[in-house]
Structure 1
C-alpha cells in the first residue's frame, strides 16, 4: 500500500476517538451514525455517551442545514433518544427537535436567543411540549435575547416570562437566566406582586438578574425554601426601601454570589443584615462598588460586618471598589496598608490599587486573585502583574496621563477585552523618548472603543496602526473634531486600517460625507 494511501478506517480506535473528541457531538452523530458501518457507529455512540446535543449552529433557513435537520429528526434522534439527557436549542428548533422522538432521560435544556414570544408560545397551557417541561425538566438555562425597547410593560413581561416558567416547570431544581447584556433592564422585579409570586419549593439553584436589593430580599423571604445556591446580579436601584422583609435564618444556603454594578452606599442596614442570616454559607462571591465613604472598605471591615457571621465559609471571591471624597489625601492609607488588612485575615491572594479620578476623589480597588469577574470601572494607571482572563468590559479613569507603555501593558493584562472606555481629559502628557522603539499594542477582541471623554492624543494612539492593532473594532464613540484632527481630515494613511471595519460611529456633530471620509469608514 502506498504510504500516503491511508483512509480514516485504517486508523486505530484510539486515534479515531481522539478525532471525535475534537468534534461537536451533533457533528459526530451526523457523520458516523446510520452509515452501515458497525465500528464507526459504535465509536460514535461511545463519544456521545454524555447525552448532550447542541443544535445552536443549525440555521433552519439554510437548505443544507434543513437537510441535516431532517436526517437528525427522522433517522438519528429515534435511534439514540434514550441516551439524550441535555439539549441546547434555539427557539425555532424547539418543536422540531423535541417532537421528533420520546426522550425518557432528558432532564436539562438550554434555550439560546430566548424571548417573551417563545415563553408565550411554548410555556402556555396549549403547548404540545407542556408535559416534557412540566414533568421531566429539572435543569433550565435561558439566554435572554429580548430587547428593552420592545417591551411595553415590565410587569407584564415578568408575568409572561419569569412567573410562567415556574408555573410550567414544576419539578425545576436548577434555573439559570442569562441576560443579553450587562445588567439588562429586563430583570426580575417583585415589588407590588403577590407574596407567592416566583414560588417553587423544589428549586435549589438560581442564577438571575433582579431589579433592586429589595428583589434579592424577596427571593430570600421563604418562598424558595430549598435554595442552596443563589447567584444574583442587581441592576438598578442601589438600596432597598423601607419595606420590612422576612429576615429569618437561611439554613440551606451554601453558596451566595452578589453583584452590584452600580454604586451603593452602606447606610442601608438591610444590606449588611442580609449576611447575618447565612451562618451555614460555604462560598461567598461579592462584586461591590461603594460610594459616600469617609474611609476605604478593607479586610477589617469585611471581617467584622460580614465574614464573622459565616463560620463555615471556606471560599471568598471578591471585588470591592470604594469611592472616597477628601480634601487631604495624606491621611488615607496606602494600597499596601489596605492589602495588609486582608493578609492579616488570612486572605493572601489579594491585590489593592488606589488611584485618583479627580483631585478630590480617590478610588480604592481590592480584589481576590485570580480575578473572577468580567467588568471593571474606574481602573487607574497602575496595572498589577496579573492577567485578567475574564474581563471583557473595562473603563480606565485617572488624573494621571496614560502613556504608550501603559496601553501596551493594558493589552497584555486584558487579553479578552471587548469594550474599552477611556476617561482622561486635561492631564499633563508625558514626554516620550522618540528614539525608543515601542511594540504595537494589540487588542484582537476589542469591538467597542469609547473616547468621548478622552483627549485627542489618546484617539491618535488607538487609530494609528503603527501604535495599535484593532482588527475587530466595529463601534467607535468619539468627539468629531478630535476624529477629524487625528485623521487629518480623513486623509491620513496610518489611521485607515483601524477604522475600516467600523459599522457604527457615534459623534455629536454631523458627519462629513466626503470621498475621503468613506475611504476611512467604508462600512458606514
Structure 2
C-alpha cells in the first residue's frame, strides 16, 4: 500500500483478530513500513504453509519452517545482519533462488569483522541454492555471500551481479576470501559498465560469463 507520509495500516494485533475463526491453521501477519519508497506492506499467511515463493522478507520476518518454499526475495531499508541470513536458511532449507535488495551497510561494530579470517561468525551453508540475484545491494551483502568465511555455496550457481560491485569486493579479481565461492559459479550474468579482462575469466574458471548489452 502507498502510504505517503502517513502510517495507515492497522496494527498487527488488529489484523490477527480478524482471522480468529479462519480455520485450523495458525494465521501469521506482520506489517512493514518503508519511508523511503513510501510504502507499507502487510504479510498474511497461514502456517504451516505450502507456498513455493515468499517475497519481500524484511527484518520483521517471524521465522518458522517453510519446507515448500523454493524462491525467496529479501528487501528492507534497514541492514540485514549475518544472523538474519542464518535465520533465513533455517526457515527455508530447500530454497533454490534468492533475490536480495538492500543498500544499507551492515554497520559492523568491530573493525575486524570484515577481516577475512574472522572466526566469530558461523559459516552459513546454502545447501540447495542454485541462483543468486545480488544486483541492487550494498557491497557488504556481496561479501556476505561470496566470502568463504561467511557462506558455503554449492557448485553450479547462477550469479546475477553488478560488475563494478563485484570488481570492488574481489579487489579487482585477486581476493582470496572470495575465490573459493566464485570458483563454484556456473553462469555469471553481469550488469553495469564493463571492461573485459582476463583476470575476470581466470577468477571464474568454470563460469559461462554473460556480459551486459552495449547500446
TM-score, shorter chain, exceeding 0.5: yes
- Aligned partner of 1:438 among 121, 139, 145: 121
| Cα distance in 1 for residues equivalent to 2:24 and 2:4 | 31
Is the CA contact 2:119–2:149 (under 8 Å) kept in the aligned structure 1? Answer: no
| Cα distance in 2 for residues equivalent to 1:373 and 1:458 | 26
> Counterparts of 1:212-361 in structure 2 under 5 Å?
324-345=1-22, 349-359=26-36, 360-361=38-39
**Counterpart residue number, 2:202:** 519
Deviation, structure 1 residue 352:
0.7
Q: Determine whether 1:461 maps to 2:144.
A: yes
Unaligned runs of 5+ in 1: 1-323
More helix by share: 1
| Cα distance in 2 for residues equivalent to 1:464 and 1:408 | 15
Q: Determine whether 1:385 maps to 2:53.
A: no
- Aligned partner of 1:423 among 97, 101, 104: 101
Deviation, structure 1 residue 493:
0.8
- Which of the two has higher C-alpha Rg? 1
Supply the RMSD in Å over aligned alpha carbons: 2.1
> Counterparts of 1:9-158 in structure 2 under 5 Å?
none
Give the TM-score, by structure 1 length. Answer: 0.36
Unaligned runs of 5+ in 2: 208-215
Deviation, structure 1 residue 511:
5.2
- Aligned partner of 1:366 among 35, 40, 44: 44
- Aligned partner of 1:482 among 165, 178, 182: 165
More strand by share: 2
Give the TM-score, by structure 2 length. Answer: 0.83
**Counterpart residue number, 1:405:** 83
| Cα distance in 2 for residues equivalent to 1:332 and 1:363 | 8
Deviation, structure 1 residue 337:
2.3
**Counterpart residue number, 1:414:** 92
Task: Compare relative contact order (CA 8 Å, sep 6+) and give the higher one, 1 or 2.
Answer: 2
| Cα distance in 1 for residues equivalent to 2:140 and 2:134 | 10
Residue 136 of structure 2 aligns to a residue whose secondary structure is strand
| Cα distance in 1 for residues equivalent to 2:127 and 2:31 | 28
Deviation, structure 1 residue 387:
0.8
Is the CA contact 2:63–2:87 (under 8 Å) kept in the aligned structure 1? Answer: no
- For each residue in 1:423-454, what CA deviation from the matched residue of structure 2 results, as whole angstroms up to 9, or x when unmatched? 112x3543434498221111111111111111
Deviation, structure 1 residue 468:
0.7
